[in-house]
Amino acid sequence: MNPGRAIILSRIREALRNNPAPHPHTSHSQVEASAEHNGHAQREWLPKVGSTLPEQVDLFASISEGLKTEFHRLPTISAARQMLAKLAAESGWKKIASHSHHDTDALLEGIGLPIVRTEKGYVVDDLESCDAGVTGCEVLVAQTGGVMVTVESAGGRALSVLPPHHVVIARTSQMVPDLTAAFEHVKRRYGKLFPSFMSFITGPSRTGDIERILVLGAHGPKRLTVLLVD
């Protein structure tokens, strides 16, 4: 047998030996029923997520810390607005990019800074020169600490990528336990008309390609802030 093939197969065998046994997954009843109906057996092999919202929020916060995502849970949109103003003042923002969305509009109310709106058409240089991009999202995924965005929920393809600081506004009702639930959400919302752009954001952009040294902001935002409003 080819030595390289033997090494790969031995690693696969080792991984299978160390793989935890499947577990019965618990989550929101609607999502769980849908998942069972569609036969998502792979869910049993993924890390278990608590069934309650507090457990899921705590897990998302814990994973976010490891990913270097700045996570803030806030009681009201007014409190989120104050947090955004604090971020703007501390970082010296001069211009913000955003899109029309009920939560982003409420969050940016009275911000007192120029805003580049992506839904109205924009000059790429204007978007690139913004200090922060403020978007909504589809869901937050407790299992991975990820933010699921689509072309609609994130105001296009570039808004969550070009500005150096990406700020996401979300509600606790948008917290889901796992990736299966995230895709179930998209299926329920869009049916067969899937968005042309869909992505999971897990922390600020990073790379370790150069001498295995971790560099933040190499291919996208250097900072990711999630504001979770009750």
CATH (domain of 149): 3.40.50.10420
**Residue 29 covered by a domain:** no
**Residue 19 covered by a domain:** no
Per the listing, tokens 């709106």 go with: 117
DSSP state of 136: -
Sheet of 115-117, strand order: 70-74, 223-229, 165-171, 132-135, 96-98, 115-117
Per the listing, tokens 């924009």 go with: 122
Q: Is-contact 134 106, C-beta < 8 A?
A: no
Q: Is-contact 150 229, C-beta < 8 A?
A: no
By mean pLDDT, which of 51-60, 74-83, 188-197 is the weakest? Answer: 188-197
CB atoms within 10 A of CB 111: 16
- Residues 128 and 135: their CA atoms lie apart, in Å, by 15
**Residue 143 covered by a domain:** yes
**Residue 45 covered by a domain:** no
State the residue range of the domain holding 185.
55-229
Q: Is-contact 197 151, C-beta < 8 A?
A: yes
Report the pLDDT value the prediction gives residue 2, as an integer from 0 to 100. 73
**Residue 12 covered by a domain:** no
Alpha helix (H) ranges present in the chain?
3-18, 29-37, 53-67, 77-91, 102-107, 124-128, 179-190
Give pLDDT tens digits for 157-175: 899 999 999 999 999 999 9
- Residues 130 and 220: their CA atoms lie apart, in Å, by 13
Q: How large is the average pLDDT for residues 122-140?
A: 94
By mean pLDDT, which of 100-104, 187-191, 212-216 is the weakest? Answer: 212-216
- Residues 87 and 4: their CA atoms lie apart, in Å, by 51
Mean pLDDT of the chain: 85
By mean pLDDT, which of 9-23, 58-72, 109-123 is the weakest? Answer: 9-23
**Residue 48 covered by a domain:** no
**Residue 4 covered by a domain:** no
By mean pLDDT, which of 4-18, 127-141, 191-205 is the weakest? Answer: 4-18
**Residue 91 covered by a domain:** yes
Instruction: Indicate the number of domains in the chain.
Output: 1
Beta-bridge partner residues of 224 = 166
How is residue 11 written in tokens? 């690693």
Give pLDDT tens digits for 28-58: 444 445 444 444 555 666 677 899 999 999 9
How is residue 21 written in tokens? 């046994």
Report the pLDDT value the prediction gives residue 87, as an integer from 0 to 100. 97
Packing angle of the helix pair 179-190, 29-37 (nearest 10 deg): 90
